[in-house]
């Protein structure tokens, strides 16, 4: 089964929306195999966003993502990467469709609420960056045959 990494960014925690957002993934039928509340360190943030180093929004991005606790989780389902990206919506909330998380909860690209891995390769890299193997749980959901 495919896995993807999601970060509910510090503004999702501050706006008290993490429960609502986690519910959307549960309702969709995604299994949470790891989850934690943590303040991302500058070193980890720089590794996570290394592809954006040098861009004009990079400094602000690192300072925002490290500004307070985030919720980080691994979600698992068939086609998890594609499904979660479609639930998250476009990077710029102004272009995100209503019904997507960014389209429903955000207005600015810098505070777009949520991160989701953009490919299976990114998901693997990001999962290894944020979780040790013993923090990831393999278990069966009783509803699995109905999804
Ligand atoms: P993604 O999160 O949709 O994959 P990326 O292009 O990978 O988008 O950018 C990473 C993050 O950097 C975005 O989620 C957003 O918070 C921030 N970002 C991207 N482009 C801009 C911008 O033009 N202005 C401000 N922040 C941006
Ligand atoms: Mg990205």
pLDDT in tens, 46-60: 999 999 999 999 999
Number of domains present in the structure of the chain = 1
Residue 53 located in a structural domain: yes
The per-residue pLDDT for 78 is: 97
Residue 7 located in a structural domain: yes
Residues of the chain with pLDDT under 50: none
Provide the whole-model pTM: 0.98
Q: Which of 12, 48, 112 to mutate to test the pocket of ligand 1 (most atoms within 8 A of CB)?
A: 112
d(CA 112, CA 62): 14
The per-residue pLDDT for 102 is: 98
d(CA 125, CA 34): 15
Quick one: residue 37, left, alpha or beta (phi over 0 = left, psi -120 to 50 = alpha)?
A: beta
The per-residue pLDDT for 144 is: 87
Residue 147 located in a structural domain: no
Residue 22 located in a structural domain: yes
The residue segments making up the domain with residue 82 are 2-138
d(CA 68, CA 31): 26
The per-residue pLDDT for 83 is: 98
Report CA Rg, the chain: 15
Q: Which of 10, 47, 49, 109 to mutate to test the pocket of ligand 1 (most atoms within 8 A of CB)?
A: 109
* CB of 91 shorter than 6 A to ligand 1: yes
We report the CATH number of the domain holding residue 112 as: 3.30.70.141
The per-residue pLDDT for 4 is: 99
20-23-24-27 Cα dihedral, nearest 10 degrees: -150
């Amino acid at each position: 089964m495919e896995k993807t990494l999601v970060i509910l960014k510090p503004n999702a925690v501050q706006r008290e929306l993490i429960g609502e957002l986690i519910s959307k993934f549960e309702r969709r039928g995604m299994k949470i195999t790891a989850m934690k509340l943590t303040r991302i360190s500058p070193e980890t943030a720089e590794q996570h966003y290394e592809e954006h180093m040098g861009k004009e929004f990079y400094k602000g991005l690192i300072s925002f993502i490290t500004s307070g606790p985030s919720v980080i989780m691994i979600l698992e389902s068939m086609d998890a990467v594609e499904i979660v990206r479609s639930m998250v919506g476009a990077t710029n909330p102004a272009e995100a469709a209503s019904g997507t998380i960014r389209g429903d909860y955000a207005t600015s690209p810098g505070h777009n609420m949520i991160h989701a891995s953009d490919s299976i390769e990114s998901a693997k890299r990001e999962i290894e960056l944020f979780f040790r193997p013993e923090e990831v749980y393999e278990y069966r959901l009783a509803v699995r045959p109905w999804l």
